[in-house]
Structure 1
Amino acid sequence: MGVIGIIISLGLLMYLAYRGITVLVLAPILALFAALMNGGAPLMATYTEVFMTNFAGYAKSYFPVFLLGAIFGKLMDDSGSAKTIAHAIANKLGGDKAILAVVLSCGVLTYGGVSLFVVAFAVFPIAMQLFREADIPKRLIPGSIALGSFTFTMTALPGTPQIQNAIPMPFFGTNAYAAPVLGIVGGLLMFGGGTAWLTMRAKKAKAAGEGYGNHPDEKIVEFDGSNLPSLGAAVLPILVVLVLNFILSKFVFVAGKYDGAYLEQKPYLTTLAKVAGNWSLILGLVAAIILVIVLNLKRLDAKKSVNQGAIGSLLAIINTSSEVGYGNVIQTLAGFAIIKGAILGVSSNPIISEAIAVNVLAGITGSASGGMSIALGVLGKQYMEMAIQQGINPQVLHRIATLACGGLDSLPHNGAVITLLGICGMTHKESYKDIGMVSVVIPILSLVVVILLATMGLV
């Protein structure tokens, strides 16, 4: 009954979240339902001492990254920097390479730390213009944006400041540049495979006589570059995030160069390895935020943008924290011991087991960050112990976790997928086949290749 209760709970979480009920309500209710089905654990104690304790712990660890990332993204959007970058790439490549222009525009912005939602809003008008001029079906725009935003820059490329690349750091004592070779290989496979798929689909549509299509409800907004920053001013903050993060994580907050012994004493009770990655990312984002404001003083209402970005970060961190609270309640239940044994029994290799666990949980929750947080919160310590025993570099666990979270997370019930389709004015029927191919199928195939390389000792 305990296992059945957990399965029913997970199924309801996935279905009801897809139906639009907030995870803030679903997560505690369904966690307590699972507890009730597992022999009736004390419900109030489970809620306040397990669910909320882990909710608060996750928020404590990752709120600064969510907060600063949202503020940075809002400033890049409001200053016009995101539009400048997207338009420059589109102009450079030309209308005949519309798909590549959209993918690269999204990729540059998300690799620089701009949230995928901001990117979608900034790039869509430019994508619409490019696709119309090239007479490529509009239904391929969501897939192009998804490829540039949800895949290689979110999970694979070393150094990306997206939250998915920050979550594994305290579990494995790594930084954002963990396993760079594996990350670059995975990123190239996703980028190359996804671009080839979308290009093939566009050619097939053209051969069938299908063009951009007639969209009477579409609002055509002409690009106005009169009050936008220069390309140099737009790109510089992104470079600051990446370069400062690299310098701090590789040359400053490292053992032997930074005396972190005090961290092991009260009141900190942690280690430099667990916090160095987050510290580097936080300081990189802070410097970039300051730079965006300074470079765009006349274009920005900085107070308004910062406030809106900060408020916008709250729902994202609270939703993910709720999913983490849910996962930690589940792991305390008797029935989960059977499920845990089944997951670990798939393979004695922690790389393979981790890839499956993260991918499945990301699919169930419809969230890359939520699924990975649950999986690592439950099994991260055990994977680390297994890796040490088998001589596996912890950096490999970090990169496999990030790559795995970007597979099944993009199933049709994923919130980002639904939002993207809404921005583009497309339906699941019209565009999900391409979204699914570039953000689910190809990333999973890329993950398989990376796992094979990792088992050969490549980092």
Structure 2
Amino acid sequence: MLGILGLLVAIVLLVYLAYKGVSAIPASLICSLVVILTNGMPLWEGFSQFYIGGFSYFAGTYFLVFITSALFARAMDDSGSAQTIAYKFLDWFGAKRAILVLVLTTAVLTYGGVSLFVVVFATYPIAIVLFKEANLPKRILPGILAFGAATFTMTALPASPQLTNVIPSQVLGTSLTAAPLLGIFASILMFIGGYWYFVRLEKKMREQGIGFEPGPNDDMSKYENVDKSKLPGAFVSFLPMVLILAAIIFIKGIFQPLELVVYAMLSATVLVFIFNWSRMTNKLNTINQGLKDGIAIVSVAVIIGFGFVVQNAPAFQSFVNFALGLKMHPYFSAVVATEIVAGITGSSSGGLTIFLKALGQQYVDLGADPAVLHRLTAIAAGGLDTLPHAGGIFILMGVAGQSHKESYGPIFWTTVAIPILVAFICTFVAIALY
């Protein structure tokens, strides 16, 4: 009982500390200590094996992705390419549609196979110009990025290459287009619900006179009194981003996924330098600052370390057993169980893997349609995975220069509340039609 209470207290404490502005490193260490002590785990082993093991796994796996993505983003910003793209979007769609433009941009990138972490770095320089010109408050930026990148394109749209859609395919033997009509239906509901929320929120903030204010890390001097005639052309500005998307879509069979992302980011960065050689007057500073920006991976890695401590705590299995033992319709129990485990781990892929490897085949043996089970569990995994203690939330806040207290509200409504509601609506539909 003490162990279970310890897990709950640790997760709540992590959320509380994040809201109070405590950085990820001390917060994750304190909360890991709570889990270790209340679960009777050896202190040294808990930190050296589980916490550092989780940290090392994530940092070691994604370090090159982070630094190359951050370098690309810095090059796009310093060259003026990001500004050109933002102004072109404003010319095409108008400042009134800035939110829609950003949502669709992140959605296209993630549906093309670009990971959330890469999307955050790649789109931030564009987003800052859009927000400045449209006079939108930065506090809603993390929510818009999360909504576009971590909801319908990650879990519901058929053929999505994101890990949340790949895991059920690997475990259940289904295709990435499993239950396409159900997936499209869920995507439409998520998009309408999330976009409607942001339209209402924008209107409310404008009525309150809340507008754009730069963050502590935003160098706004480069965005003041811009002579658009001196910015790079639209073709050379869009081409590096198109290259990334095209490489991930069309060359994915040649390289390993992470290897491909790194090569694509480096190639795109080289293109930015070639196209803007004369404009980039301090190239060494761009490289130094870009690689330095990639150190943001530490904030995510320490939260993953906390997650590893949680998953290795004896009490964690009690939560898993409870979730897996729910007595209700198979589709409902699958959705609820996946939500619970994804929420505890702070990871959609973690929740899916644990649930499907434990009981996926048993559900199929009971008569569940593998394709429907695939789609429902993928959608469910994208609900509680973005609670405040999730690693991805920390990277969003870090890049945008915002705090949980300022910016988590929109993330909750568009990536937690609405996806959960959609998951249950789709479950009713699946029971009725399949």
TM-score bin, normalised by smaller chain: 0.7 to 0.9
Query: 1:134 matched to which residue of 2?
Result: none
Query: 1:392 matched to which residue of 2?
Result: 370
Larger deviation, residues 212-221 vs 78-87: 212-221
- Pick from 296, 301, 317: which aligns with 1:321? 301
Q: Is 1:130 equivalent to 2:134 in the alignment? A: yes
Q: Residue type of the partner of 1:129?
A: E
Query: 1:382 matched to which residue of 2?
Result: 358
CA change 1:381–1:306 in 2 (3 A) is: farther
Q: Residue type of the partner of 2:315?
A: G
Any conservation in 1 of the 2:124–2:400 contact (CA below 8 Å)?
Answer: no
* Deviation of the 1:195 alpha carbon: 3.0
Q: For 1:327, what is the secondary structure of its paired residue?
A: helix
CA change 1:440–1:404 in 2 (3 A) is: closer
Normalised by the size of structure 1, how large is the TM-score?
Answer: 0.69
CA change 1:331–1:237 in 2 (3 A) is: same
Q: Residue type of the partner of 1:93?
A: F
Q: For 1:252, what is the secondary structure of its paired residue?
A: coil
Query: 1:12 matched to which residue of 2?
Result: 13
Query: 1:303 matched to which residue of 2?
Result: 284
* Deviation of the 1:8 alpha carbon: 1.6
Q: Residue type of the partner of 1:345?
A: G
Q: Residue type of the partner of 1:244?
A: A
Query: 2:249 matched to which residue of 1?
Result: 246
Instruction: Please show how residues 216-235 of structure 1 align to structure 2 within 5 Å.
Output: 221-235=224-238
Any conservation in 1 of the 2:197–2:414 contact (CA below 8 Å)?
Answer: yes
* Deviation of the 1:88 alpha carbon: 0.8
Q: How far, CA to CA, are the matches of 1:107 and 1:407 in structure 2?
A: 17
Any conservation in 2 of the 1:331–1:378 contact (CA below 8 Å)?
Answer: no
Q: For 2:382, what is the secondary structure of its paired residue?
A: helix
Q: Residue type of the partner of 1:43?
A: L
Query: 1:196 matched to which residue of 2?
Result: 196
Q: Describe the superposition over 1:114-137 as per-residue Cα deviations: whole angstroms up to 9, x where unpaired.
A: 543664554344434335xxxxxx
Q: How far, CA to CA, are the matches of 1:345 and 1:308 in structure 2?
A: 50
Q: Residue type of the partner of 2:296?
A: L
Any conservation in 1 of the 2:32–2:306 contact (CA below 8 Å)?
Answer: yes
Q: Is 1:342 equivalent to 2:322 in the alignment? A: yes
Structure 2 residue runs of 5 or longer lacking an equivalent are: none
Q: How far, CA to CA, are the matches of 1:56 and 1:72 in structure 2?
A: 24
Q: How far, CA to CA, are the matches of 1:110 and 1:165 in structure 2?
A: 7
Query: 2:335 matched to which residue of 1?
Result: 352
Q: How far, CA to CA, are the matches of 1:215 and 1:60 in structure 2?
A: 36
Normalised by the size of structure 2, how large is the TM-score?
Answer: 0.73
CA change 1:378–1:191 in 2 (3 A) is: closer
* Deviation of the 1:19 alpha carbon: 1.6
Q: For 1:87, what is the secondary structure of its paired residue?
A: helix
Q: How far, CA to CA, are the matches of 1:337 and 1:88 in structure 2?
A: 52
Q: Residue type of the partner of 2:279?
A: R
* Deviation of the 1:237 alpha carbon: 1.5
Q: Residue type of the partner of 2:257?
A: G
Q: How far, CA to CA, are the matches of 2:430 and 2:100 in structure 1?
A: 29
Any conservation in 2 of the 1:85–1:231 contact (CA below 8 Å)?
Answer: yes
* Deviation of the 1:6 alpha carbon: 1.7
Instruction: Please show how residues 68-87 of structure 1 align to structure 2 within 5 Å.
Output: 68-87=68-87
CA change 1:417–1:248 in 2 (3 A) is: closer
Q: How far, CA to CA, are the matches of 2:129 and 2:10 in structure 1?
A: 40
Q: Residue type of the partner of 1:404?
A: G
Query: 2:146 matched to which residue of 1?
Result: 150
When the two structures are aligned, how many residues end up with a matched partner?
Answer: 406
Q: How far, CA to CA, are the matches of 1:321 and 1:104 in structure 2?
A: 28
- Pick from 116, 120, 132: which aligns with 1:116? 120
Q: Residue type of the partner of 2:26?
A: V
Structure 1 residue runs of 5 or longer lacking an equivalent are: 132-137, 254-275, 363-369
Q: Is 1:331 equivalent to 2:311 in the alignment? A: yes
* Deviation of the 1:356 alpha carbon: 0.5
Q: How far, CA to CA, are the matches of 1:99 and 1:154 in structure 2?
A: 16
Any conservation in 2 of the 1:156–1:186 contact (CA below 8 Å)?
Answer: yes
* Deviation of the 1:252 alpha carbon: 3.4
Q: How far, CA to CA, are the matches of 2:8 and 2:208 in structure 1?
A: 45
Larger deviation, residues 384-393 vs 68-77: 384-393
Query: 2:347 matched to which residue of 1?
Result: 371
Query: 2:261 matched to which residue of 1?
Result: 281
* Deviation of the 1:396 alpha carbon: 4.7
Q: How far, CA to CA, are the matches of 2:21 and 2:47 in structure 1?
A: 23
Q: For 2:251, what is the secondary structure of its paired residue?
A: helix
Q: How far, CA to CA, are the matches of 1:403 and 1:303 in structure 2?
A: 40
Q: How far, CA to CA, are the matches of 1:381 and 1:42 in structure 2?
A: 28
* Deviation of the 1:376 alpha carbon: 5.8
Identity in percent = 25
Q: How far, CA to CA, are the matches of 1:167 and 1:282 in structure 2?
A: 21
Q: For 1:195, what is the secondary structure of its paired residue?
A: helix
Any conservation in 2 of the 1:73–1:118 contact (CA below 8 Å)?
Answer: yes
Any conservation in 2 of the 1:152–1:187 contact (CA below 8 Å)?
Answer: no
